[in-house]
Amino acid sequence: MRNLSGKFIVLDGTEGSGKSTQIRLLHERLVAAGLEVALVRDPGTTRIGEQIRAILLNPEHAEMGMRCEMLLYMAARAQLITEMVLPALETGRVILSDRFVSSTLAYQLGGEDMTADDIRTVAEIAIQGHWPDMTIILDLPAEQSLARVQREKDRIEQRPLEYHEMVRENFHAQAVLEPDRFRLVNADRDVQAIHEEIWSILQQL
């Protein structure tokens, strides 16, 4: 697993797909394997990023336009890259991120007629060309995914089922478009079985 030093790995997927659990398991196993890991969440982690996250997810901000939403995500991402990701990559640590640009290409794509090229153009500026080496999508049907969210739903989670079904389709489309950098993992299984598949993917990387 030493080959993972300096790699940028993302776990992504819909709400309730088990990202938090799988990232925790993966982080623990990477550290046990002797690797130094920078664990981040997007948006968030940095002081500025967490403030942007609070704005983005607050249900009171129902009037927020989709372009504003996309740009706020990118702003948080820009700070994350500068403050956390670049220093970690320079020292050869593994970057393990809960969500990244793949989420914006799933959740904001099509809003206010935004295209994938629009989003990628802004992302290129925000992340300074540092695209993940591997993005693992935890895949779960939208209805089942939302049913797993037990806490009070945030602004994004409160959107209708049809929206979340579209999000899932957008995640699938990314995996089809870039099969070398994306993997779809069935999240409707035993937690340990999912973890072992993720570990196998990273061994291949």
Helices 47-57 and 66-80: angle between axes, nearest 10 degrees: 160
Q: Is residue 1 over pLDDT 80?
A: no
Structural tokens at position 24: 């925790």
Per-residue model confidence (pLDDT) at position 56:
98
**Model-level pTM?**
0.95
pLDDT of residue 150: 79
CATH number at residue 93: 3.40.50.300
Domain count, the chain: 1
Condensed to tens digits (0 to 9), the pLDDT of residues 136-186 reads 999 999 999 999 987 899 999 999 999 999 999 999 999 999 999 999 999
Tell me which residue range forms the domain holding 38: 2-204
How confident is the model over 2-14, as a mean pLDDT?
94
